[in-house]
């Protein structure tokens, strides 16, 4: 017999469904505009110019380690706990985050300037990378997104993201039309991010009356809470981006362009995974520690549903890699096809790792366990990249990431179990992983298209049916991410 949900839980359930539907629209718009921007820049700049832009974005990501420090996740957790949304507490949290982010961004950009001064890059490239770092100043108001996440009203963040993408697409189109330089292209990132931050701030005022407060105890509290998460985030960025610096050092910016052409799809998969966890995380956080049974049920459904969604994306990427690369990036990026097929495993692995990682955060294990896991992941990835890139170039970089993701996926659930004392069912996850390995093997072995495409598609369809034992309602819920703890 199903447990009856309270009124508040029914409201939260409806909000999750609404959030997911609106985010799906936002993701679709962001995906289309993002691919248009990426394809346009890849063709316009060529492999060298696109490689230099990719290198600038990589340094931007590393500057983001110090600029962001993981404030948003802690803000969401603390705001969600403040059920009455007491104004002074809300303003103290948001103001403290702004102070810390402004200071950390200044330090990050200064450190970036020092690093670039020591590098033997052309002066123009150094300026372009530093300009990309300035984007972090344009994003200072992004902390207000935590208001929407905590209130499960992510439609406002989705609308802001859509406006940002459209604005950026227009600016990039104008830059290409007028044959602008790479420097001008990078300036468009600053302008578009300013627009995004402004809309987040304006729409946040629908829910709060913001007043800046200097609250030193709150600043110290946020800094203390975010440092472990910041270290963990730093390790995550190093994990996903450091191979690009190794690749550039060993093989040049053209190799970076080939790898990044494929990795852009992984970026979009990570964005989709993060947006889905935006809806799931508050539900899990709200049930710990008072409703462990409800937490376990949502945890199990999240694993099953994300395995289905991530697996479907992975199958699609592996099968359609030749079409995607040739259509969006052109024939000069054809070497990226096999890279994308290897990286095609990433959505499945990433969706599940993100789920388990957020569960560690819910359980308050963001300090040692999560940070140590990411140190371990970085170490494995670094060793594999150093061993494989010299011989296999971008193929080695892709394989290193896929193997490391799979190793982490085998370890993280066991750490969660040490706190929850419950080990969820991994039947669906393991079956999906096996199907993906078969698909990748068929594709890379050079099988003709009439085998390499229909066989994995039919195998995956059959597996999805088995996952839910022919339960059409559960299957529909999986693809629309309708979660409940019943």
The two structure tokens encoding residue 345: 């495993």
Domain segments of the chain as ranges:
37-214, 253-486
Please tell me the predicted confidence (pLDDT) of residue 23: 65
Binning pLDDT at 50, 70 and 90, where does residue 324 land?
very high
**What is the DSSP secondary-structure string of 393-446?**
HHHHHHHHHHHHHHHHHHHHHHHHHHHH------HHHHHHHHHHHHHHHHHHTT
289 preceded by a cis bond (ω within 30 of 0)? yes
Helix (H, G, I), strand (E, B) or coil at 205: coil
Q: Please, are residues 17 and 482 in contact by the beta-carbon 8 Å criterion?
A: yes
What's the rounded mean pLDDT across residues 180-195?
A: 94
Q: Read off the pLDDT of residues 93-116 as tens digits, 9 standing for 90 and up.
A: 899 989 988 998 898 899 899 999
What's the rounded mean pLDDT across residues 187-199?
A: 93
Please tell me the predicted confidence (pLDDT) of residue 398: 95
CA separation for the pair 391, 54 (Å, rounded) = 22
Helix (H, G, I), strand (E, B) or coil at 345: coil
Task: Give the CA radius of gyration of the chain.
Answer: 22
CA separation for the pair 281, 362 (Å, rounded) = 8
Please tell me the predicted confidence (pLDDT) of residue 476: 52
Stated as kind and residue range, the H or E segment containing 41 is: helix 7-68
Binning pLDDT at 50, 70 and 90, where does residue 302 land?
confident
Residue 337 predicted with pLDDT over 60:
yes
Q: Read off the pLDDT of residues 20-54 as tens digits, 9 standing for 90 and up.
A: 666 667 777 878 888 899 999 999 999 999 999 99
Averaged pLDDT score across all residues of the chain: 83
For 69-122, where are the alpha helices, taking DSSP H only? 71-81, 87-118
Residue 414 predicted with pLDDT over 50:
yes
Nearest to 294 by CA among 383, 362, 380, 211: 362
281, 401, 434, 299 alpha-carbon torsion, rounded to 10°: -10
Please tell me the predicted confidence (pLDDT) of residue 308: 86
Nearest to 40 by CA among 157, 175, 154: 175
Q: Which of 239-253, 275-289, 336-350 has the highest mean pLDDT?
A: 336-350
**In 10 A of CB 369, how many CB atoms?**
18
Percent of the chain, pLDDT > 90?
33
Q: Taking the alpha carbons of 438, 440, 445, 451 in that order, is the dihedral positive or negative?
A: positive
Q: Please, are residues 212 and 91 in contact by the beta-carbon 8 Å criterion?
A: yes
Q: Please, are residues 337 and 321 in contact by the beta-carbon 8 Å criterion?
A: yes
Residue 379 predicted with pLDDT over 80:
yes
Q: Read off the pLDDT of residues 427-467 as tens digits, 9 standing for 90 and up.
A: 888 888 888 888 888 888 877 777 777 888 787 777 777 76
Q: Which residue has the higher pLDDT, 367 or 73?
A: 73
């Amino acid at each position: 017999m199903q447990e009856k949900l309270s009124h508040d839980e029914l409201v939260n359930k409806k909000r999750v469904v609404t959030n997911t539907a609106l985010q799906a629209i936002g993701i679709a718009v962001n995906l289309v505009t993002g691919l248009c921007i990426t394809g346009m820049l890849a063709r316009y700049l060529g492999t060298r110019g696109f490689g230099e832009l990719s290198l600038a974005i990589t340094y931007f990501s590393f500057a983001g380690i110090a600029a962001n420090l993981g404030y948003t996740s802690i803000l969401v957790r603390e705001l969600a706990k403040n059920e009455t949304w007491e104004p002074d507490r809300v303003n103290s949290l948001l103001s403290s985050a702004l102070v810390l982010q402004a200071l950390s961004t200044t330090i990050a950009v200064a450190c970036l300037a020092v690093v670039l001064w020591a590098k033997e890059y052309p002066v123009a490239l150094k300026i372009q990378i530093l300009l990309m770092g300035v984007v972090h100043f344009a994003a200072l108001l992004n902390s207000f997104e935590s208001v929407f996440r905590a209130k499960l009203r992510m439609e406002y963040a989705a609308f802001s993201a859509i406006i940002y993408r459209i604005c950026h697409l227009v600016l990039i189109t104008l830059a290409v039309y007028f044959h602008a330089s790479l420097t001008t292209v990078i300036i468009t990132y600053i302008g578009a991010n300013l627009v995004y931050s402004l809309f987040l701030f304006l729409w946040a005022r629908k829910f709060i009356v913001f007043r800046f407060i200097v609250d030193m105890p709150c600043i110290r509290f946020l800094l203390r809470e975010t440092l472990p998460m910041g270290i963990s985030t730093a390790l995550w960025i190093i994990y996903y981006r450091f191979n690009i610096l190794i690749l550039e050092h060993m093989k040049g910016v053209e190799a970076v362009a080939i790898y990044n052409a494929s990795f852009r799809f992984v970026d979009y998969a990570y964005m989709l995974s993060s947006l889905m966890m935006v809806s799931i995380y508050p539900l899990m956080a709200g049930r710990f520690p008072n409703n462990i049974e409800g937490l376990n049920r949502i945890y199990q459904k999240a694993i099953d549903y994300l395995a289905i969604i991530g697996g479907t994306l992975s199958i699609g990427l592996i099968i359609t890699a030749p079409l995607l690369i040739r259509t969006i990036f052109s024939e000069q990026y054809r070497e990226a096809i096999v890279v994308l097929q290897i990286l095609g495993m990433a959505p499945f692995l990433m969706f599940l790792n993100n789920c388990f990682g957020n569960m560690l955060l819910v359980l308050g294990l963001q300090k040692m366990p999560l940070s140590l896991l990411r140190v371990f992941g970085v170490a494995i990835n670094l060793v594999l990249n150093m061993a494989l890139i010299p011989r296999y170039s971008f193929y080695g970089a892709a394989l290193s990431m896929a193997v490391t993701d799979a190793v982490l996926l085998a370890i993280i659930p066991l750490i969660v179990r040490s706190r929850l004392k419950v080990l969820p069912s991994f039947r669906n996850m393991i079956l999906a992983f096996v199907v993906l390995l078969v698909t990748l093997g068929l594709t890379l072995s050079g099988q003709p298209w009439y085998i390499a495409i229909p066989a994995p598609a039919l195998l995956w369809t059959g597996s999805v049916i088995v996952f839910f034992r022919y339960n059409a309602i559960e299957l529909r819920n999986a693809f629309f991410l309708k979660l409940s703890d019943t």
